[in-house]
Amino acid sequence: MKKTEKQVHSGHRERLTKLVLNAGIENVTDVQAVEYFLTYIFPRGDVNPLAHKLLDKFESFGNIIDAEISDLCSIKGISTTSANKIKIFGQMLNYYTYSKLTGKVNLKNTGDFLDLLESLLRFQNTESLYLFAIDHSFNLISKRRFNLQEVRSVGLSPYELFNFVSSTKLSYLIVAHNHPGGTAVASPQDHDAASYIENMLSTLDCKFLDSFIVGKDGIYSERQKSFIRTFESNENILKI
């Protein structure tokens, strides 16, 4: 008896799942990895052609996850709903990283906190602002993300800041944002924004520790007025 299209696709998905489990996701081809990811976005159907289309346009899995909704929707077969699911997956990756580190990151070990900043902000292609709550022992206890473009247009309201401070019972506050594709060196606007937040905190029982900027060249500390971590460029890698 001839197999139906549904049975063929189901069998292929089962074989692909076994391949990923046995070989490891890092040991399959890019197409197979993206195809397997798409089985979570699309419960039914053959997603192999769509995996090829996405890789043809965006070149890598990371670029697919970081792509704008409008760019994803330009691919035939990607609806707004499926594009939103892809974007949420990227947020889940950040959430996973943060959940693994929460309660374990202590500011006395600067490297752990810089690792977190790098994972959250280095490869993002949209501007984000994070508030980090630090307790009296310098442990990271909470964070909150804002869309930086919205913050710049309407401002970070005192209510939002005060609510974050009171709800987390923090002792210290750290602010961080990114410059996608640009240098991490602070601009005059960045200095003004940091001063604005520090002034708002002056009436509260907590201290503003620093404002960090993550760019393509590293992580910049506004307090120290210098880079505290630099990223090696592709140009330098090629010269090795």
- What is the sign, positive or negative, of the torsion defined by CA atoms of 65, 67, 69, 71? negative
pTM: 0.66
Q: Which residues of 133-158 are buried (b: 16+ CB within 10 A; e: fewer)?
A: bbbeeebbbbbeeeebeebeeeebee
Select 5-94's CATH number: 1.20.120, 3.40.50, 1.20.1250, 1.10.150.
1.10.150
Residue 240: the pLDDT is 41
- Span(s) in the chain for CATH 1.10.150: 5-94
Query: pLDDT tens digit string along 29-38?
Result: 999 999 999 9
Query: pLDDT tens digit string along 166-210?
Result: 999 999 999 999 999 899 999 998 888 888 888 888 888 889 999
Average pLDDT over residues 30-58: 93
46-55, 61-70, 71-80, range with the lowest pLDDT: 61-70
Angle at which helix 158-168 crosses helix 188-201, to 10 degrees, equals 60
Domain 104-239 class, CATH top level? alpha beta
- Span(s) in the chain for CATH 3.40.140.10: 104-239
* Residue 224 backbone phi and psi in degrees, to 5: -90, -10
Residue 4: the pLDDT is 52
**Mean pLDDT (the chain, rounded):** 86
Residue with tokens 């280095």: 122
Residue 90: the pLDDT is 85
Query: pLDDT tens digit string along 2-26?
Result: 455 555 456 889 999 999 999 988 8
Residue 11: the pLDDT is 84
Helices (H) and strands (E) in the chain, counts: 11, 6
Query: pLDDT tens digit string along 133-169?
Result: 999 999 999 888 887 777 766 667 888 888 899 999 9
Average pLDDT over residues 109-124: 89
Radius of gyration of the chain (CA): 21
